[in-house]
Amino acid sequence: MPGPPTQLRRGGRLKDKSPGAWGEDLALRYLIQNGYTLIERNYRIRRGEIDLIMRKDEALVFVEVKLRRGTGYGDPLEAVTPRKQDTLRFVAEHYIYAREPHFDTLRFDVIGILADRPDVRVHHVEDAF
């Protein structure tokens, strides 16, 4: 009698997403509702990753998404440190070199999501750095 895959029998759940993926989904919906178009998601190279690459009019927008379930470790926006900003710039340069996208302007946005139950607050900082 065939049963569920082994990983499900051990308690894994297919429908559950990681908190990071959930936050990126929320940020993506927010951005699309505000006139952005998705170009690419989770662009990775060895040195790092860009969560969302979007287009708004003629601007190419690299978006970093930070999710926190509380403020015990600080505001989500505080997690985008100068070191993280340098990594994002490096990955963005790689993306531009590899994909050669057409754009008039380039910017880096940060979306901080604070998911304090029962509230979820989205704070979008355009041209954050």
Q: What angle do CA 6, 9, 13 make, to 5 degrees?
A: 100
Looking up tokens 């930070």 gives 66
Hey, which residues does 50 pair with through a beta bridge?
A: 43
What are 9-18's pLDDT values in tens digits? 444 444 566 8
Structural domains present in the chain = 17-125 (3.40.1350.10)
For residues 88 and 64, the answer to whether their CB atoms sit within 8 Å is yes
What are 22-34's pLDDT values in tens digits? 999 999 999 999 9
What are 36-67's pLDDT values in tens digits? 999 999 999 999 999 999 999 999 999 999 99
